[in-house]
Chain A
């Protein structure tokens, strides 16, 4: 059962340095659970809060204006993660992502998830997509052209 404590009031931000820690922590928790170990769900709960804050549309779901206001980076990172673990085919639309994510968040929160391997794999895919997004955006930053790096 996922604890409901520590409701974070943070705004969802892909650059939040806590996010990779939370995602990998949640992956570890779901992994332990799938092996029958006991976990405290601290990071899984934080991740659920993060996702719902980013995607929960409240009364605005299906509202075109809401979709227009979306940061496309959040959608693309979460979309990549869904597509990497999807068993039912590609997630193509913004609406699909919102629906799938909110369904998953509700599973995480209710503690009624039946497939912890899937949740773990989603966290891994989300974490990897996030790390890749961060490194690709960093390439916009100017670097010294005379400085060469080993990698």
Chain B
């Protein structure tokens, strides 16, 4: 059987490498997609080399591990190939590429490469944790919305994931997460021993006994994931101001009735954290906005263990919100990303005249004006344009982003000279 596993793994990796070769023949709108594919090709070539080192004399469990590792990676990264392929699709708003890349480089370093693509999935997303692609930012928007400029502020959230992972923020917080979880478990000791009766004598060894640690490691993972999501929301707010809030509501406010996904803070709790940060940044957020969200259903009472893990994670996350806020403020320059009301008003005036704006002084000013225009009744005097307001505004916003890109290129060449 092990010989068969060995043969099948070889064959799978061969197929993947062939597919990569064929993807490399695509026409790419920018080099990053091709560069990512070449790195992936090297990874799978290394897997192939390892598998080829094995022969009939090798230890069967060693053969099995090498084959499983290769196949698991094949499974995990397959959708990244699809993402890279779809980055070539003309449905993507290529106009935003330059300004977003500039933003990513400002926050994450000059060697950052960006890939913008689309996915047949409801939510925007990013890929993180690919350390061999650590200087890549992947931003995927839902396919039907991939050229919808009103959703662009969500890219701020996705850039947040890269900031989180690049700066190892979880490592900085792990001690506090552990301490908060220990504190909460001790406080709810009766519940803990009801769920884990075999650990009733381990109250003082929650952190030091390996097996006891395993009982609450799930809460640690959930808390860390929730903190990451909140951090990303706050990055989105810091980078895009109120337009992030509207884009978030556009994407998420209709999901109140679904069951909660525990890697996120519950729906309303998440918005309350955002509101707190908006207050600190001087961004107006009205009560109606917060009231549009309600908490999603928690898992059923029948799942005591799951519920308890979520309660622990929620508690620890609440303890660390101020740490998250100070992390955001330490990574993003408040002055550079301050809302420029004057520039935003200028954009709004241009939109009203149905012309792209100039001297917008940043993507955030264009997008904040775009949302303001979209939400204003009778924004266009022309009835025909008003009837198709979203589509008409979208066109002007994308053109304005192109103008911004040209201005930024000109500015950088003037500065270079």
Contacts and interface: CB of A to CB of B under 8 A. Distances in A.
Contact of B50 (A21, A67, A142): A21
Nearest to A11: B168
Given A24-B50, A31-B62, A91 B210 contact: yes
Contact of B43 (A17, A35, A141): A17
A28 B220 contact: no
A69 B65 contact: no
Contacts of B66: 24, 27-28
Given A68-B175, A71-B174, A96 B210 contact: yes
Contacts of A134: 72, 76
B178 A68 contact: yes
Interface in B60-84: 61-62, 64-66, 68-69, 72-73, 76-77
B261 interface: yes
B174 A79 contact: no
B171 A11 contact: yes
A28 B54 contact: yes
Nearest to A130: B69
A17 B131 contact: yes
B217 interface: yes
A73 B208 CA distance: 13
Contacts of A15: 129, 131
Nearest to B40: A17
B254 interface: no
Contacts of A17: 43, 73, 76-77, 129-132
Given A21-B69, A142-B261, A92 B210 contact: yes
A23 B72 CA distance: 14
Task: Report the contact-size class of chain B (Cβ under 8 Å from the partner).
Answer: 35 or more
Contacts of A137: 221
A61 interface: no
A76 B217 contact: yes
A90 to B, nearest CB: 8
Contact of B69 (A23, A31, A76, A97): A23
A51 interface: no
B169 interface: no
A72 interface: yes
A150 interface: no
Which has the most chain A C-beta neighbours within 10 Å: B61, B121, B178, B263? Answer: B61
Given A31-B58, A71-B174, A93 B210 contact: yes
A24 B210 contact: no
A140 B262 contact: yes
B59 A94 contact: no
Which has the most chain B C-beta neighbours within 10 Å: A71, A79, A96, A97? Answer: A71
Interface string A111-122: 000000000110
A26 B175 CA distance: 31
Contacts of B209: 92-94
Contact of A94 (B77, B168, B213, B263): B213
A124 interface: yes
Contacts of B65: 23-24, 27, 123-124, 127-128
Nearest to B61: A124
Contacts of A70: 174, 178
B208 A95 contact: yes
B193 interface: no
Interface string A48-87: 0000000000000000110111111101100100000000
A88 interface: no
Contact of A97 (B53, B207, B210, B263): B210
A141 B229 CA distance: 13
Interface string B237-267: 0000000000000000000000001110000
A108 B305 CA distance: 40
Which has the most chain A C-beta neighbours within 10 Å: B73, B208, B220? Answer: B208
Given A120-B59, A140-B262, A131 B68 contact: yes
Interface string B178-210: 110010000000000000000000000101111
Given A17-B131, A127-B65, A94 B225 contact: no
Interface string B349-384: 000000000000000000000000000000000000
A117 to B, nearest CB: 8
B5 interface: no
Given A68-B178, A131-B72, A76 B210 contact: yes
B131 A10 contact: yes
Contact of B131 (A16, A34, A96, A124): A16
B304 interface: no
Given A28-B50, A72-B216, 15 more contacts: A11-B171, A13-B131, A15-B129, A17-B73, A21-B47, A24-B62, A28-B66, A31-B59, A67-B208, A68-B178, A70-B178, A72-B214, A121-B61, A127-B65, A127-B69
18 contacts: A11-B168, A17-B73, A21-B43, A21-B50, A24-B50, A24-B65, A27-B59, A28-B50, A64-B207, A68-B175, A71-B220, A75-B213, A92-B209, A131-B69, A135-B72, A140-B221, A140-B261, A140-B262
